Amino acid sequence: MKIIGIDASLTSTGVACLQKDRQKLFLIKTKPKDFNHPIKRYRYIAATVAERCTKELGGSLAGVHWGIEGYAMYRKLGKLTELAEVGGLIKQFMYSLSGNFPITVAPTTLKKFITGKGVGRGKEHILLYCYQKWGIAFKSDDTADAFGIAKLVDAVVYRESTDLYKYERECVDTIINSHPWLKR
């Protein structure tokens, strides 16, 4: 089992690489001033995600299943456009290396999978619920989200876990129903 969860961001992309009984979490931090053009920044984020995941999972992403958080509504359309460009590059890199389509997880589905409720829970609640659920004290909500995405992708792909709560099963069903190629 090799699973990747990605919480794409323009400033702090969280990534979780899961492999059997080990996990590696990391952040890719960037600032606009560090790049002389936005495209260079976007490409750096996507390439770094792909390179670090390849390294952490033994040198190849072939056959690895992975998920990425979908886009939330932003007050500024420009930021949403930039995030979509980063997300598109990440998807292209990861698909070309893994051969698997992304499993896109809506922010509300992720929040429900982690907390049991899809709305009304802030970032600080995500950290608390992740600690209570998986016993991991995450340093950032970005890596907590990435880990939650990876755990949800694992539940979707392997569907072996019979110990899911009702709300977790609902999240798995939501993902399967929104990704036709996942239906068996």
**Helix and strand tally (H, E) in the chain?**
6, 5
Count other C-beta atoms under 10 Å from residue 76's C-beta. Answer: 8
Count other C-beta atoms under 10 Å from residue 83's C-beta. Answer: 17
SS3 category, 19: strand
**115, 125, 176 from 118: Cα distances, Å:** 7, 12, 17
Inter-residue contact 2 to 64 (CB < 8 Å): yes
Domains of the chain: 2-182 (3.30.420.10)
Question: What's the pLDDT tens digit per position in 82-134?
Answer: 889 999 999 999 999 999 999 999 999 999 999 998 776 677 788 999 999 99
Q: Which helix or strand (DSSP H or E) is residue 113 part of?
A: helix 107-115
Whole-structure pTM over 0.75, yes or no?
A: yes
User: Distance between CA 166 and CA 164 in Å, rounded?
Assistant: 6
Range picked from 4-8, 80-84, 160-164 for highest mean pLDDT: 4-8
